[in-house]
Amino acid sequence: MDQAGKTPTPVQKPSHIRTIALIIGLFFVTAFLLYIALAPGKNSAPKKVAQPITPKPTKVMGHTLLSLSPRNAVISSYSGSLDVLIDSHGDKVTGVQLDISYDPKIVTNVAILPGDFFAKPQVLLKNIDPALGKIFYILVLPPQEKAATGSGKVATISFSANGTSTVSFGPKTKVTAEGAATSVLLQTQDATVTTSQTLRTPSQ
């Protein structure tokens, strides 16, 4: 108490000092909250990595089988033939495209003719490349003809051979059918041609 017996009035701090202190305090609180929000926690879920989209394989909407017969052909006279057989398993076939490969060093003098599966087939393309060992053959039914079903012989391949060669269907082999926008070919079966003894050449 002062000499007059009165309690001294406390000295008040200037208001601008309190404002500055409050601003500084809020700054540190905000910075701390931001640190907690942005810092990776132990229980935070891992970021998902975008996976590439893999296209689904196109399902074959057909049941037709193509095969070369006999599957293991043994030629004794250095000339022989293979039949291209078909089994449509209910597909109404309107055309066949053959892409067939062979070893041109072993198989020579290749020829191909239509079989009896189609009653009146039209040959749209017949290309035999003796250098590459390739046969590309397309035959179809005329529009007025009824689609073929069941099993039969699409074509016959004749040739000469000296040694062993695989005769195989290529990726461009297709079968068209009524009501199908894509090939109805489900499976193919290749063949092997072997001569019973190797023909000796003059240089041997």
Q: What pLDDT score was predicted for residue 47?
A: 54
Residue 77 DSSP one-character state: S
Give me the amino acid identity at 139. L
Report strand pairing: 191-195 vs 164-169: antiparallel
Q: How confident is the model at residue 201 (pLDDT cuts 50, 70, 90)?
A: very low
| pLDDT tens per residue, range 47-102 | 555 555 555 555 557 999 999 999 999 987 788 999 999 999 999 999 999 999 99
Tens of pLDDT, residue by residue over 177-193, are: 999 999 999 999 999 99
Measured CA to CA, the distance from residue 188 to residue 136 in angstroms comes to: 16
pLDDT of residue 36: 65
| Number of other residues whose CB lies within 10 A of the CB of residue 188 | 19
Instruction: Show the domains of the chain with their CATH numbers.
Output: 64-195 (2.60.40.680)
**Pairing of β 185-189 and β 64-69:** parallel
Q: Is the pLDDT of residue 203 over 60?
A: no
Rounded-to-integer distance, Cα 115 and Cα 172, Å: 20
| Strands across the sheet containing 107-114 | 107-114, 151-161, 79-87, 64-69, 185-189
pLDDT-above-90 percentage for the chain:
59
